[in-house]
Chain A
Amino acid sequence: MDKTVTNRRTSARDKALNNVVCIDNVRFFWDAAHEFVVHIKNFEVKRGEKLLLVGPSGSGKSTLLSLLTGIVLPRSGIVSVLNEDLGGLSNRDRDRFRAEHFGIIFQMFNLLPYGSVVDNVILPLNFAKERKARVLAGLARGGTEEDEARRLLSRLGLSQDIQKRKSTAALSVGQQQRVAAARALIGRPEIIVADEPTSALDRNRQSIFLELLFEEVGALGSTLIMVSHDESLGTSFDRVLHLNDVMAAPAAADIGVREGGQA
Chain B
Amino acid sequence: MIIARLALQSLKNRWLTALLTVLAIGLSVMLFLGVEKIRNGARASFADTISGTDLIMGARSGSVQLMLYSVFRIGNATNNMSWSSFQKIAKRPDVAWIVPLSLGDSHRGFRVLGTTRDYFKYVRFRQKQNLEFMSGKPFDDIFDAVLGADVAAALGYKLDDPLIVAHGLGRVSFSKHKDKPFRVAGILAKTGTPIDRTVHVSLKAIEAIHIDWQTGARRRGGTMSTDQVRALDLQPKSITAALIGLKSKLSVFRVQRAINEFKAEPLTATLPGVALQELWQLIGQAETALKVVSAMVILTALLGMVTMILTTLNERRREMAILRSVGAGPGTILGMMLSEAAILTGLGVVLGMVALYLALGLARGFIDAQFGIYLNLSPPDMHELMTLGGIVIGGILAGLLPAIRAYRMSLVDGMLVRN
CB distance from A82 to the nearest CB of B (A): 15
Q: Are A65 and B9 in contact (CB under 8 A)?
A: no
Q: Are B326 and A104 in contact (CB under 8 A)?
A: yes
Q: Are B414 and A124 in contact (CB under 8 A)?
A: no
CB distance from A191 to the nearest CB of B (A): 13
How big is the B interface, by class? 20 to 34
Which chain B residues lie closer than 8 Å to A66 at the CB level? 414-416
A112 at the interface (CB under 8 A from B): yes
Number of cross-chain contacts by CB at 8 Å: 71
Q: Are B9 and A95 in contact (CB under 8 A)?
A: no
A123 at the interface (CB under 8 A from B): yes
Q: Are B9 and A96 in contact (CB under 8 A)?
A: no
Q: Are A123 and B318 in contact (CB under 8 A)?
A: no
Q: Are A114 and B415 in contact (CB under 8 A)?
A: no
Which chain B residues lie closer than 8 Å to A113 at the CB level? 13, 319
Q: Are B10 and A104 in contact (CB under 8 A)?
A: no
Pick the most buried of A72, A96, A104: most chain B CB atoms within 10 A of its CB: A104
Q: Are A100 and B319 in contact (CB under 8 A)?
A: no
Which chain B residues lie closer than 8 Å to A119 at the CB level? 9
Q: Are B329 and A114 in contact (CB under 8 A)?
A: no
CA distance A165 to B13 in the complex (A): 15
- The closest CB in chain A to the CB of B328 belongs to A127
Q: Mark B390-417, 1 if CB is under 8 A from A, else 0.
A: 0000000000000000000000101110
Given A32-B412, A62-B416, A69-B415, A124 and B326 touching (CB < 8 A)? Answer: yes
Which chain A residues lie closer than 8 Å to B418 at the CB level? 62
Pick the most buried of A32, A102, A110, A114: most chain B CB atoms within 10 A of its CB: A114
CA distance A99 to B324 in the complex (A): 9
CA distance A65 to B417 in the complex (A): 13
For residues 300 through 351 of chain B, which have their beta carbon under 8 Å from a beta carbon of chain A?
Answer: 318-319, 322-332
Q: Mark A182-208, 1 if CB is under 8 A from B, else 0.
A: 010000000000010000000000000
Out of A32, A71, A114, A183, name the residue touching B326 (CB < 8 Å).
A183
Q: Are B13 and A114 in contact (CB under 8 A)?
A: yes
Which chain A residues lie closer than 8 Å to B331 at the CB level? 92
CB distance from B387 to the nearest CB of A (A): 33
Given A110-B322, A112-B322, A114-B10, A127 and B327 touching (CB < 8 A)? Answer: yes
- The closest CB in chain B to the CB of A61 belongs to B416
A109 at the interface (CB under 8 A from B): yes
Which chain A residues lie closer than 8 Å to B121 at the CB level? none
Which chain B residues lie closer than 8 Å to A69 at the CB level? 325, 415
Q: Mark A122-157, 1 if CB is under 8 A from B, else 0.
A: 011011100000000000000000000000000000
A91 at the interface (CB under 8 A from B): yes
CA distance A109 to B417 in the complex (A): 11
Q: Are B327 and A98 in contact (CB under 8 A)?
A: yes
Pick the most buried of A92, A96, A100, A123: most chain B CB atoms within 10 A of its CB: A123
CA distance A98 to B414 in the complex (A): 12
Out of B9, B327, B330, B332, name the residue touching A115 (CB < 8 Å).
B9
Given A32-B412, A72-B414, A124 and B327 touching (CB < 8 A)? Answer: yes
Q: Mark A67-79, 1 if CB is under 8 A from B, else 0.
A: 0010110000000
Given A69-B415, A104-B415, A109 and B325 touching (CB < 8 A)? Answer: no
Given A113-B319, A114-B10, A114-B13, A106 and B325 touching (CB < 8 A)? Answer: yes
- The closest CB in chain B to the CB of A131 belongs to B327
CA distance A256 to B322 in the complex (A): 36
CA distance A81 to B293 in the complex (A): 59
For residues 14 through 53 of chain A, which have their beta carbon under 8 Å from a beta carbon of chain B?
Answer: 32
Q: Which residues of A contact B (CB under 8 A)?
A: 32, 62, 65-66, 69, 71-72, 91-92, 95-96, 98-100, 102, 104, 106, 109-115, 119, 123-124, 126-128, 183, 195
Task: Pull 18 A–B residue pairs with CB atoms less than 8 Å apart, ordered by A.
Answer: A66-B415, A69-B325, A69-B415, A92-B331, A95-B324, A99-B326, A99-B327, A102-B327, A104-B326, A106-B415, A113-B319, A114-B13, A115-B6, A119-B9, A123-B323, A124-B327, A126-B2, A127-B2
